[in-house]
Structure 1
């Protein structure tokens, strides 16, 4: 059911996903074609905020902080999985893999590589602070507009 907490959670986590995307871009090799990377991460953030964070609002401040951190964790995991799957599918269409199992393992290999790129103090600070602020904003919206 739509409510203000879900709306605030989706907007806040969508913004966090969008901002972190622009912080990750300089960390990747120069030849990387990003296309709609930031927009895809923003849309993932909107869905994560609506489905994961919005329904867990209204349990107190400590739970709100945990809710925000959990939302950011889900955002990162889904983002890594979607972008790694896209990379694998792109290479699979160019016949890089000998079988389906090798292609599925490549998803996790890409997730690990992209996850290592994300271990940057600025990116981590943005994710942590964005998660905390998103959780608190979601809790505030739930308490204000029930």
Structure 2
């Protein structure tokens, strides 16, 4: 059931994911082609905000801050799985793997490489601070339009 809190949470985390993706880009190797990276990240943020933060809004400010940070963590997990799987498929079409099991293991290796690049102070600060603010925005919307 759509609510104002879910709408605001989805929008806030979509914006947060877009800006986090833009901040993350300089931490990748030079020459990396990003394509629709930021827009796919914002779609992931929209889904995470709608499904994770939206239903948890309306429980108080501290719970909203905690839920916002938790939603940022879920957003990171979804992004790592989606982007590392996509990268694995790109590498699989250039015969880089000997079999399907090696390709599946490569998803986790690629994800760890992405996570290592993501462990920069500016990316973490934006995710934590933005997640807390997005959680508070969702809490405000839940209280305002109850």
Unaligned runs of 5+ in 1: none
Q: Which residue of 2 aligns with 1:142?
A: 142
1:84 corresponds to which residue? 84
The list of structure 1 runs, each at least 4 consecutive aligned residues, that deviate by more than 3 angstroms after superposition, is none
Distance 1:101 1:57 in 2: 41
Aligned partner of 1:41 in structure 2 is 41
What RMSD, in angstroms, separates the aligned Cα atoms of the two structures? Answer: 0.7
Tell me the distance in 2 between the aligned counterparts of 1:31 and 1:78: 24
Aligned residues: 146
Q: Measure, in 2, the Cα distance between the counterparts of 1:113 and 1:11.
A: 28
Matched residue, 1:111: 111
What are the residue-to-residue correspondences of 1:29-108 with 2, within 5 Å?
A: 29-108=29-108
Task: Give, in whole Å, the separation in 1 of the partners of 2:30 and 2:111.
Answer: 19
TM-score by length of 1: 0.98
Aligned to 1:26: 26
Q: CA deviation at 1:39?
A: 0.3
